Structure 1
Amino acid sequence: MTYDDAERGGPTSTWGTIALWMMGLLGVAVLGALLLTLREANHQRDDALAAQRHSYDVMILVRTLQGTIARSEASLGRYVISGDQQLGRLYYEDWRRADETIDRLEKLTHDNDVQSRHLAEIRDAFRERGDELALTALNTNYRKNSQALARFYHSSTSGSLLRINDGLDALVTQERKLLEARTSHAQASVKRSSIIAKVLAAFGLLLVVGVIWLGWAVVSALGEHTVARAEADAQRDRAEELTSAVAQATEELRAQEARLRQIQKMEAVGQLTGGIAHDFNNMLAVVLGGIELAQRAVALDPATAARHLASAHDGAQRAAALTAQLLAFARETAINPETIATATLFDGLADLIGRTLGEGVSVRFDDESDGWCTRADRVQLENSLVNLAVNARDAMEGRGALTVRAARRTVAGDEFVALSVSDTGCGMPPELVERAFEPFFTTKPVGKGTGLGLSQVFSFARQIGGDAAIDSVVGVGTTVTLLLPRERAPAAPAAAVPATATAPAAEAVEAVRPDGLHILVVEDDPRVLPATMDALVELGHHPHACDDPTRAAAMLAGMERVDLILSDVLMPTLTGPEMVAALAATHARVPVLFVTGFAGGADEAIDLGGRPVLRKPFTLAGLERAVAQAAVAPGETRAAA
């Protein structure tokens, strides 16, 4: 017996139960047939008895009729001889009873045509005889005894009396024949019913024996089922324990996989360290040199000083952009889909991939997408392409040509942006290509890779409704292609930090508050707070400093006018969103601009409520634009009571 059989009660128990039900139904059928047979036998017996009673009633009435006629005629004869009126009345009453008896016979035999004809003849002869006797009685009544006596003797030989007696005898003979036929039929029916009852009783006895035997078999099977059920319960308990262990191991594996993904990203960041350090040294040299040159020339040649400051400003801008790109690449990925054009994507990746691969690999970007866009998380997409570039560099052993190409592709009527990374490395045989996207599968030596890079790329493509494919030729190279669904919505313009304030930003500030905004600045860093205050004053605003978020509500209550709250996100006592949530209802709709120095990770777990965010470091122009946009966002300006 299998585990499933035990769960269902076993095949023996199942078939035994079915057989018991079938025998039970047969037993019910046999019992029903036996009852019907007995009922039919009783019914036939009752019919036979009723037929016998009917025949006896007919014959008794016939004999009664004959006796009544004879008694009536005898009374008439005595009346003729004696002239006693009492004997005349007896004659008349007996003759009337005879007539009633004939009526009763007609009712009893109305369903028999032969007997009905006999009774019709008897009725005619009875009336004829009655007329003859009535004349005799009439002569006697008028004292004509001799004439009456002659009529009486003459009527004794009348044919009517013979017809009456013959008809009654024929009626009795017919009824006896019917009685014999009905009795024979009833006896045959009873005999047949007895035979059927015996057969059914024998069959029922066999069924009882079969049920007893089958019941014993089912009881034995149920005993086996109980044992099997206990074993099945034990197996199920072991299966549940195994399932729980597998679930726990799967959860641990997922956590380990997440850690490995982050480690792989940090490995890539580590590979960037050399190039980034070199670039930062160059940028810092530009910044420091520009500031020193500006300090020397500020008094003698302001124009030259301004030119040196602009050069330092440009170096700082490049360092800030590189830092933001590095932090975004290293952080845990957050799904933030946006419409991406390949041109802007390649612009952002050029420096990152170039620094990652080193000088031994030449990189070429080829955009043949004709402006097609896709919708994806930019960080995930960039990480996927960097992963592919790193794999390609390893396949080329650090030297070769890498091509990143964007093209249009239509598959089964659906449009895709095809992003491919091609190398001139060693290539892969077909058996490796088939397994390349499997998690933890790698051809690299131990310690040189986790085997998660290509599986992450494949998972990313499938998550957004796309696909990934590998085309590789041994000794020629490999091309990995990502098919990403086309997005027809226009891509958002690339973020850029302008060197100077733009006219639209300045006009927006003027449109919000011509005489400058009253801004509460909440910042715990003693170096950033005065710099931010000076920048706001330079832009024509009226800032109010607050170095502790727990004092923000009290300071707001003391301000005559509040146009904007500019707050850091992460602070020791309260976060910026916690501080805003704790403000009184009277300040709930004051516009808020958050400022943060994190590119992701720590502040991503904090709900900013959809409010605008300004990233550090920021320029004076960036601050001006962010303040202008935040101030015109939905909210209200509050004047202190």
Structure 2
Amino acid sequence: MSEHRITALKHRLSALDWRVALMIVVALLGTGVLTLLVVNQRDAAAQHQAALARQSQSYEVMVLSQSFAASMARAEATLGRYVVAGERAVGRDFVAEWQRAGGQLSLLERRVRDNSAQAERATRLRSAYDARGLELAEIARNTDRGRNVAAYAYYNEARRSPHLAALSRETGAIFDAERLLLNERAADARLTAAGAADETRNLVLFGALLAAGAIALGWLNVRAIRDRAAAAAEAEAQRARSEELQAAVAAATAGLQAEARERAAAEEKLRQVQKMEAVGQLTGGIAHDFNNMLAVVLGGIELAKRNLPNGADAALRHIDNAAEGANRAAALTRQLLGFARSEALAPEAIEPTELIEGMSVLLDRTLGDGIRVETRSEGTQWKVWADRVQLENALLNLAVNARDAMDGRGTIVISSGHVALDGDDAADCAPGDYVRIAVSDTGTGMTREVMDRVFEPFFTTKPVGKGTGLGLSQIFGFVRQSGGEVQIESTVGEGTTVTMLLPCHAATAGTAPVIERIGPREGPHRALDILVVEDDPRVLTATLAALEELGHRPVACSDPLTAPRIVAGLRTLDLVMTDVLMPGQTGPEMVAALEPQLRSVAILYVTGYAGEGDEDRFAGRPVLRKPFTLAGLEQALADAIAFQALADAAAD
């Protein structure tokens, strides 16, 4: 072999060496890019979950602070009624409300203990709560012992207590601070997600450049080693490595596309929620109109029934049937308003066994013939203080989820009983007595990964179009707002048990004092001069007829803007009965404008559509829901007169 050929061969081998080295570097860089992609996605997911957990905690602290403020307000109002009426049943309700507020405060303290500033505010709130409790206890003791004059004096003095102002100030401070913290956490979550997306995009672009470079180098290697079999084999190996790198980049790209599809699905679910909110608003408006029509129907039925001649049994049966249908329609309307969240909650003492038995027909019709429902009760008489409609909806949602987990065939067991939580057993609940309501199925069960996410909003294992992922999250929110906890036990292939723990109603506890129940308060015995403000002419006519039937002297007003002129022309006026939502001016706005003319005049609001937030506008005055019966109207008039008498006494 000539020297020239030997030199040329050395040059080709040198060129081959640096190309091989460069390919190795590219492969290492590609491996690094893939590793960074995996680590970036994992860190982004962990940071996102942590951000969501912190936001959820902030939401819970805000809900607890508002719930505590509402319970305190109800306790104060109940004590005022107790001082005036002297009814021991009302006193028992005051004890229940005050204890409920204490439980909510304990849960709030747990939630903010990892935040030193919020924990300090919660400590001040606890001090104000304890001090305020001593003040109100003194009022209650004087009322229990019949010392009405002393009770009135203490009550008036307690209204100016600095502890009351401290309660309001610290509750608002906790809420405002947590709202600011929530905004910061939401901004952090958005920044974390945006940063992860930018890093992923840059890494993908860099990986694509590496892949392009690897392909180019492979092509050059093929040209350089065509005359050598060994070099050709090396080029083939290099090409194989290059293809592996491309496959890895393609896999990373597929992962990003899958994430984009998940994001699109989440946006679709959000649009579904917005659609549900729109349906809720439409439902609330329709229910409002139905309430007005039902007020006319039920009022006319009652008046017709009162004016039937003796012996008209056939007509009476027809009227009773019509009244039953109208009452069912009114119940349906209340459910529609509850769905639209336009009906104020009505918590009551509920015995779980009675509630479950009352839902048996509804469950059978909803779940189908393939599902057998068994109910088990420990025979306890413990009760829970909650909104009946929300509790029924929670049970129905759990039963439907259980049916779906069993593919329409199997056994669902609904059990209830009492459990006492103390110390570590209390978990996220305040120690005490709880009502346990559990729904068990024999379905497919859940994995640990699913159980960890089951309460997340929009999370669902059902196929697209079969569920919104909101059922369990709504149940979780309802139980937490009620001061309880939801527990889940599940085994894959065996079934799932979801348990709701709700605080026992304090009035039913064995340690509660025994107080004799006093009969219902009677309506006003004298004829009242009443101004009726109602924009619907049919409802106005029906209301006037009902008041005349009860022996009162009503005066009609179809436009709230003309009310000042009518009031100025009346010689006497005992009560103003006004609708809430009217064109031109709402009922509360009209009353506020007429306040100088309404000294010692009672106010009764009448509405078929009022959200929870509207309660503040009513200033604690009685509210009569449409449709109403004559008995309900008479009781509402009595409540309004009694409320005004209490206000006048407090002013004096």
Higher relative contact order (CA 8 A, sep 6+): 2
Q: Work out which of the two has the higher radius of gyration on C-alpha atoms and give 1 or 2.
A: 1
